[in-house]
Structure 1
Amino acid sequence: MRKSHKKGIQIIGAVLTLLLAVYAALHFMVKVKIEEMLKGEVAKSFEVQYKDFGMNLILGNVSLSALQVKSKDTSLWINPLKINRLEIKGINFFELYQSGNFKINSVLFDAVKGDFAKQDSVSILQSSTKDFKKVISIKNLILKNSYLTQVDPKNDSVLVKFENLNVQLEDFKLDSTSLASKVPIAYKAYHLNSGPIYVNLSPFEKLEIDSLYTDQNLVIQGFHLVSKYDKVALQSKLTKERDFIDLQIPVVEIDDFQCKGYKDSSLLSIRAIELNELYLEMYRNKLLPDDYELKELLYKKIENLPFKIDIRKVDIKKGEIAYTELVNELSKAGKIYFTALNSTIENISNLNGDPIIFKNTANLMGVSPITLDWTFRENSNKNLMLVKGTVMNFNTKAINSFMMSNLRAKSSGTIQELYFTFSGNGYSSTGDMKMKYDDFKFQVLKKDRSGVNKVLTFIGNIFTNDGSNTNDSGYRFGTIETERDNTKSFFNYIWKNVSDGLVSTLTGNGEKE
């Protein structure tokens, strides 16, 4: 009994020793194979350096610390990519041996620092993996505490910069199908957290974000799109008219943000966006040469995007917009502004031909309630637009600072009610106006704005009805007929229609046609 027991222990010991020896041999072989791959196949395109290499064959874990990767193609990234720690856990070696596919529980890139060059990274990835037939499946792909920058190699200017970026992709998958898509990866869910973000939008504008994170929604804090130069400095940089812009949004909430492949394109899909306490200031120096570049209407810009977009709804709450325009060196710039702005935009999409609908309410010059609604692709007609608006209880003296500077005129009187509707396309429009007003008068100023041009004022008031010649309900009516200047913005188009209606209402017979 003792001999057999002793013999059994010896057999077990021998088996365990053999297993340990086999494991040690396999561990050594796999480790050598990986190191050879890093120094061989990988080294054809990249120079790889690291401090420590660890591996657990049983658990399927591999780790590298103090990793530096330098591309031999300097168009990919400029400086060596530094990774504090790379951890790969749960490699299914049986799956890898059997099919050649990678099935991994998690991959962690910790504290990545890299400067990437400006280029079409999707095309490069697709061209470099055109013969890729394997499948890479990762339960959790994690990028942690990373600082990434995209640089224009022509002048070393920063194009995009992320600080303290954290990303987690669940059920990440890369295969020949996803690589053929415009978005070459697939994932089930994502979690995102980032510190300050900088985006170079143009030679004149930049976007700065304080932070963003995902909770139930994607939340952006401290959204700031602003000109790179102040109002004075910007003018010396310009050769033609361009707005100084300062757009600030304390909090942006995005519900169900998705970016994925769609047929032969890519799709940005969002269920809803909420913009709280939006503030927008714009300034234009009209003394500069005109910008004669053709301006597409918004729906055309949406239709012509190089990708698909589908935003179901945008809500703007408690906003404020101010626009200032300088037209004469001898006078102050005129300012017009809107407070208590609340807007709803529906169906910002190029997936279908459904109407794009804007509904806006605000207080003109901080006091007079107005509404302005417009619809593109009205009644499924992709070229038709419909605009409706109202103005209530507006003392015209409130806008004199803008009129004196920009129109060389000032007015008095109260617009009790104003209603207008017009429809058209990108070339022309027609409509009508109805207005109730009291004691309307205006004065034409001298060219230097120093006083009133009495002759022009007298002649103008002869042809302008002061509001006394109305129908039984106190209204006067006018018509709208105008053509669009396609070198001007959509809002210029709206103003041309409204001003045409005002002239018709104030100077016409006032009767409804």
Structure 2
Amino acid sequence: MSKKPLFKILLIALIVIVIYKVLEVYGTKKVAFILKSEGISYADLNIDFLGGDLELEDVIYTKDSMQFVAENININDFSYYNYFSNKEIHLDDLEVVNADVTGKLTQQKKDSVQIDSTKKSKISIINIENIKVDNAQLSVKKKNGFPLKINSLNIEIDEFRLDLNSSDKIPFTINNISSSVTNLETSLTEVQDFKVSRIDLMNQNLVIDSLYILPTKNRKEYIHFVPKEQELMDLFTKKVEISNINLEEQDSLYVGIENIKIDQTNFDLYLDATVLEHSKQHKKLYSKSLRELPFKLNVKTIDISNSVLTYEEFTKPGNNPGIIIFDELEAKITNVNNSYYKEEKETVAEIKAKFMKSSPLNIKWRFDINDQDDEFRIYGSLFDLTSANMSSFLLPTMNVKVDGSIHRMYFDIEGNNYVSNGKMNMDYEHLQLKILDQEKHRKKVLSWVVNLFVKDKSKKGLAHAEIKEVKRNQTKSFWNYLWLNIEHGLKKSLI
């Protein structure tokens, strides 16, 4: 080869290298200018202009009261063609390593200037083949002032596509997602903390390990830190599994779930009813609460196993709290669906438990979420109820001690938001009521008069009672409503 062609080749190569270096320097300066104008600082910036790769080290971004810090941010294979020809951002990889988000979430102020909702973003599409967030941490204050902390957050997303000009409630799509959260902590109220040891998301399946709702105040003082009479919660759930989660954009957001499994829950509710007046706020029945959700919900089945529910109520100073325990709690709930277009209309809950750890309780409960009258039917049975079990709640709350036993009880109640009717069958033996004064001494005359009217049906089979026109106290829960019906049936059976 002659020297002339070789020289030309070398010259062209040199020109290409120079142009590339010039573009790389220009690109680096341009990117640096854009980052600076956006308030993003960094320790080092490396750009491979030809490959469309970018690496940032020790990144700091502050906006308002929030700060984002990351050890590394890596971008691979940025598509110049899609950016300049289609105004779209296409990347192969986006990786964020050891990020730390701190600060305070603030309420966005409404701009007085009218915003044109038809105005489109200059960038229409963001398309990223793979997103990876490695070991991020979060420590912020929420809008209500309570802290939110995450010790470690890891996310991987494949085929992420965001339409910046979409009006959909879900303007993005993904192909696969996996995520893990370790040690999430926040406060729900001034008296309740919320903690989760670990959350794992794999595509459409979510697993929560060791979920806690914990009191921050003791039982004596908590009631002075709440605006109205309410229970103090103490909850632990070992595991929650949510399978086949499906989010869709319909006339409103649609959330579909195949199954929710809740295993080994201990839930303790404590109410101090001696300080504040009972709230006059209307409490919705479950059907109405589900019907009025701002999204469509369809949960096919919910399974609860190996659980304990304890309710304690402190009503009289000087007495211990009344206590009710549901042990060995198992429940299956089907068709929690607030859509008007569904094959099965009724939501059905089947519940089994040991009342006060010894008396078998079975309940079946039906209602239609979309029934505007909130009609329901609940029926069940209770066996081997002892005097100690009955007195555990009645003695501290009403100063009434019960002797005797209930061998079996059957109830069947139908009602709506306003009134209910039903029937009760009960087999009891040697049942006596002892009315006590504040010092727990028996009021003999009053107890004697009451027991004159208590019938002993132990040798005559079941006692039958009609439950008629029981009115609901709409400031109290469904379970209070059920108790009013049981109480009505007991009175009719006994007197």
TM-score by length of 2: 0.90
Q: Secondary structure at the match of 2:224?
A: helix
Deviation at residue 121 of structure 1 after TM alignment: 7.5
Aligned residue in 2 for 1:80:
67
The answer on 1:60 being equivalent to 2:48 is: no
Aligned residue in 1 for 2:494:
506
Q: Give the 3 Å change call, closer, same or farther, for CA 357–449 of structure 1 in structure 2.
A: farther
Task: Map Cα deviations across residues 207-240 of structure 1 (whole Å, 9 max, x no partner).
Answer: 1111112357321111001232121221332454
Q: How does 1:254-269 map to 2 (within 5 A)?
A: 254-259=242-247, 261-263=249-251, 265-269=252-256
Unaligned runs of 5+ in 2: none
Q: Which residue, 53, 72, 80 being the options, matches 1:93?
A: 80
**Aligned AA (2:445):** V
Task: Map Cα deviations across residues 333-376 of structure 1 (whole Å, 9 max, x no partner).
Answer: 12110110001122333333732222110001101110122222
Q: Which residue, 428, 446, 454 being the options, matches 1:437?
A: 428
Higher relative helix content: 1
Cα separation, 1, equivalents of 2:311 and 2:298: 30
Aligned residue in 1 for 2:237:
249
Q: Give the 3 Å change call, closer, same or farther, for CA 153–362 of structure 1 in structure 2.
A: closer
Aligned residue in 2 for 1:151:
141
Kept in 2: contact 1:370–1:391 (CA 8 A): yes
Kept in 1: contact 2:290–2:369 (CA 8 A): no
Aligned residue in 2 for 1:355:
346
Q: Secondary structure at the match of 1:496?
A: helix
Kept in 2: contact 1:151–1:160 (CA 8 A): yes
Aligned residue in 1 for 2:11:
14
Deviation at residue 305 of structure 1 after TM alignment: 2.4
Aligned residue in 2 for 1:416:
407
Q: Which residue, 325, 348, 352 being the options, matches 1:337?
A: 325
Q: Which residue, 24, 27, 32 being the options, matches 2:24?
A: 27
Cα separation, 2, equivalents of 1:362 and 1:10: 92
The answer on 1:463 being equivalent to 2:460 is: no
The answer on 1:407 being equivalent to 2:395 is: no
**Aligned AA (1:80):** Q
Q: How does 1:198-213 map to 2 (within 5 A)?
A: 198-213=185-200
Q: How does 1:114-263 map to 2 (within 5 A)?
A: 114-115=101-102, 117-119=104-106, 131-133=120-122, 134-152=124-142, 157-176=145-164, 178=166, 180-215=167-202, 217-238=205-226, 240-259=228-247, 261-263=249-251
The answer on 1:272 being equivalent to 2:264 is: no
Q: Secondary structure at the match of 1:26?
A: helix
Aligned residue in 2 for 1:286:
273
Q: Give the 3 Å change call, closer, same or farther, for CA 246–345 of structure 1 in structure 2.
A: same
Aligned residue in 1 for 2:367:
376
TM-score by length of 1: 0.87
Cα separation, 2, equivalents of 1:166 and 1:379: 40
Deviation at residue 91 of structure 1 after TM alignment: 1.1
Q: Which residue, 95, 100, 112 being the options, matches 1:108?
A: 95
Q: Give the 3 Å change call, closer, same or farther, for CA 300–240 of structure 1 in structure 2.
A: same
Aligned residue in 1 for 2:442:
452
Task: Map Cα deviations across residues 5-49 of structure 1 (whole Å, 9 max, x no partner).
Answer: x5554444333333323322332232232223223xxx2xx4221
Kept in 2: contact 1:397–1:413 (CA 8 A): no
**Aligned AA (2:398):** L
**Aligned AA (1:18):** I
The answer on 1:299 being equivalent to 2:287 is: yes
Q: How much identity, in percent, do the aligned residues show?
A: 22
Cα separation, 2, equivalents of 1:370 and 1:305: 31
Kept in 2: contact 1:336–1:399 (CA 8 A): no
Q: Give the 3 Å change call, closer, same or farther, for CA 137–201 of structure 1 in structure 2.
A: same
CA RMSD of aligned residues (A): 2.6
Kept in 2: contact 1:313–1:347 (CA 8 A): yes
**Between 26-35 and 244-253, the greater mean CA deviation after superposition:** 26-35
Deviation at residue 398 of structure 1 after TM alignment: 2.4
Deviation at residue 152 of structure 1 after TM alignment: 4.2
Q: Which residue, 390, 398, 401 being the options, matches 2:381?
A: 390
Deviation at residue 131 of structure 1 after TM alignment: 2.4
**Aligned AA (1:25):** V
Q: How does 1:478-497 map to 2 (within 5 A)?
A: 478-481=465-468, 482-497=470-485
Kept in 2: contact 1:331–1:449 (CA 8 A): no
Pairs aligned (count): 484
Q: Secondary structure at the match of 1:277?
A: strand
**Aligned AA (1:495):** W
Cα separation, 1, equivalents of 2:78 and 2:227: 59
